Structure 1
Amino acid sequence: MSTLTVGFLGAGQIGEPMVERLLAAGHRVRLYARRPEVRARLSTAGALLVDAPADVAACEVVVSCLYGDTQVLAVLPEVVRAMDARTVLVSHTTGRPVTLDRLDAHGAAGGAAIVDAPFSGTADAVRAGRLVVYLGGEREHVATAREVVGAYADQMIATGVRGSALRVKLLNNLLFASISQLTLRGLEAGRALGVEESALLEALAVSSGGSAAGRYITARGGAESFAVTVTPYLRKDLDACGDVATEAGVDLSALLAAARGGPLRLGAPSTSRTERSFEDQR
Structure 2
Amino acid sequence: MTALTVGFIGAGRIGEPMVERLLAAGHRVRLYARRPEVRNRLAALGAEPVALVRDIAAADIVVSCLFGDDQISAVLPEVVAAMPEGAILLSHTTGTPDALDGLDRFAPNGRGATIVEASFSGTPEAVRAGELVVFLGGAPGDIATARRVVGCYAGTVIATGGRGSALRVKLLNNLLFAAVSQLTLQSLAAGRGLGIEEGVLLEVLSISSGGSTAGRYIAARGGSESFTAAVAPFLRKDVAACRDALGATDADIGTLLAAACTGPIDLGAVPTLEKGVVP
TM-score range, shorter chain: over 0.9
CA distance in 2, matches of 1:114, 1:137: 7
Match of 2:160 in 1: 159
The answer to whether residue 56 in structure 2 is matched with residue 63 in structure 1 is: no
The 8 Å contact of residues 85 and 107 in structure 1, kept in 2 or not, is answered as: no
The 1:258–1:112 alpha-carbon spacing in structure 2 relative to 1, beyond 3 Å, is same
**Superposed CA offset, 1:22-70 (max 9, x none):** 0000000000011110011000000011001100001001000000000
**Superposed CA offset, 1:226-261 (max 9, x none):** 001111111111111111122324332211011000
The 8 Å contact of residues 69 and 96 in structure 1, kept in 2 or not, is answered as: yes
CA distance in 2, matches of 1:148, 1:98: 24
User: Could you say what secondary structure the match of 1:248 adopts?
Assistant: coil
Match of 1:42 in 2: 42
CA distance in 1, matches of 2:241, 2:218: 24
User: Could you say what secondary structure the match of 1:118 adopts?
Assistant: strand
CA distance in 1, matches of 2:246, 2:167: 12
CA distance in 2, matches of 1:269, 1:230: 19
CA distance in 1, matches of 2:246, 2:60: 34
The answer to whether residue 137 in structure 2 is matched with residue 139 in structure 1 is: no
Q: How high is the TM-score relative to the length of structure 2?
A: 0.95
The answer to whether residue 54 in structure 2 is matched with residue 54 in structure 1 is: yes
Match of 2:169 in 1: 168
Q: How high is the TM-score relative to the length of structure 1?
A: 0.94
User: Could you say what secondary structure the match of 2:23 adopts?
Assistant: helix
- The aligned amino acid for 1:199 is V
**Superposed CA offset, 1:153-202 (max 9, x none):** 01111000101000000000000011111101110111011111001101
The 8 Å contact of residues 136 and 158 in structure 2, kept in 1 or not, is answered as: yes
User: Could you say what secondary structure the match of 2:157 adopts?
Assistant: strand
The 8 Å contact of residues 261 and 270 in structure 2, kept in 1 or not, is answered as: no
Match of 2:114 in 1: 113
Alignment of 1:59-138 (within 5 A): 59-108=59-108, 109-138=110-139
**Superposed CA offset, 1:198-232 (max 9, x none):** 01101110111100000000111100000011111
Runs of 4+ in 1 over 4 A off after TM superposition: none
- The aligned amino acid for 1:174 is L
Output the aligned Cα RMSD.
1.2
**% identical equivalent positions:** 64
C-alpha deviation, 1:269, in angstroms:
7.0
Which is bigger in relative contact order (C-alpha 8 A, separation at least 6)? 1
The answer to whether residue 187 in structure 2 is matched with residue 192 in structure 1 is: no
The 8 Å contact of residues 217 and 226 in structure 1, kept in 2 or not, is answered as: yes
The answer to whether residue 38 in structure 2 is matched with residue 22 in structure 1 is: no
The 8 Å contact of residues 2 and 147 in structure 1, kept in 2 or not, is answered as: no
User: Could you say what secondary structure the match of 1:154 adopts?
Assistant: strand
Give the unaligned 5+ runs of structure 2: 272-279
User: Could you say what secondary structure the match of 1:209 adopts?
Assistant: coil
User: Aligned residue pairs: how many?
Assistant: 270
